[in-house]
Chain A
Amino acid sequence: MFRNTSSLIQPLVFFIIIALLFPFSLPAEGELLQRIGGGVIWVSAVLATMLSLESMFHSDYQDGTLEQMLIHPRSLPLAMLGKALAHWTATGLLLTLFSPLLCVTFNIPSEQIWVLFAGPLLGTPSLSLIGATGAALTVTLRRGGVLIAIVILPLYIPILIFGAGMLTQTAQGLEVASQLYALAAILALSITLAPFAIAGALRVTIN
Chain B
Amino acid sequence: MQESLERDLIDTVNPITASWNFLSDTYHRLGSPREFYTISRYTTPIFGILFLTLSLIGTYFGLFVAPADYQQGDSFRILFVHVPVAWMSMFIYIVMATAGAIGLIWRIKMAFVVTICSAPIGAAFTALALLTGSIWGKPIWGTYWVWDARLTSELILLFLYFGIMAVYYAFEERKVAEKATALLSVVGVVIIPIIHYSVEWWSSLHQGATVFAEGGPKMPAEMLLPLAFMAVGFMFFYGYALFLSMQNRVLENEHKSRWVREMVIRQGKNNELVRFFLHGRLRLRGLDLLGFNIIGASRICDFS
Contacts and interface: CB of A to CB of B under 8 A. Distances in A.
Contact of A189 (B170, B180, B190, B191): B190
B184 A200 contact: no
A204 B179 CA distance: 6
A96 to B, nearest CB: 24
A30 B163 CA distance: 38
Nearest to B171: A141
Interface of A is mostly: helix
Interface of A: 133, 137-138, 140-141, 144, 147, 150-151, 153-155, 157-158, 161, 189, 197, 200-201, 204-205, 207
A147 B170 contact: yes
Contacts of A133: 187
Contact of A155 (B162, B166, B188): B188
B39 interface: no
Interface of B is mostly: helix
A207 to B, nearest CB: 8
Contacts of B194: 158
Among B170, B186, B194, the most chain A Cβ lie within 10 Å of the Cβ of: B170
Contacts of B156: 154, 157-158
A30 B171 CA distance: 48
Contacts of A151: 163, 166-167, 184
B267 to A, nearest CB: 37
A155 B171 contact: no
A201 B166 contact: no
B131 interface: no
Nearest to B169: A147
A200 B104 contact: yes
B293 interface: no
B166 A197 contact: no
A133 B185 CA distance: 12
Nearest to A200: B183
Given A137-B180, A204-B176, 19 more contacts: A133-B187, A140-B176, A141-B170, A141-B171, A150-B163, A151-B166, A151-B167, A154-B156, A154-B159, A154-B160, A154-B163, A155-B187, A155-B191, A189-B190, A200-B104, A201-B180, A204-B183, A205-B180, A207-B176
A200 B104 CA distance: 9
A1 B222 CA distance: 65
Contacts of B179: 204-205
Interface in B153-179: 156, 159-160, 162-163, 166-167, 170-171, 176, 179
12 contacts: A137-B167, A137-B184, A140-B171, A150-B162, A151-B184, A154-B163, A154-B191, A155-B187, A155-B190, A155-B191, A201-B180, A204-B183
B175 to A, nearest CB: 9
A133 B167 CA distance: 13
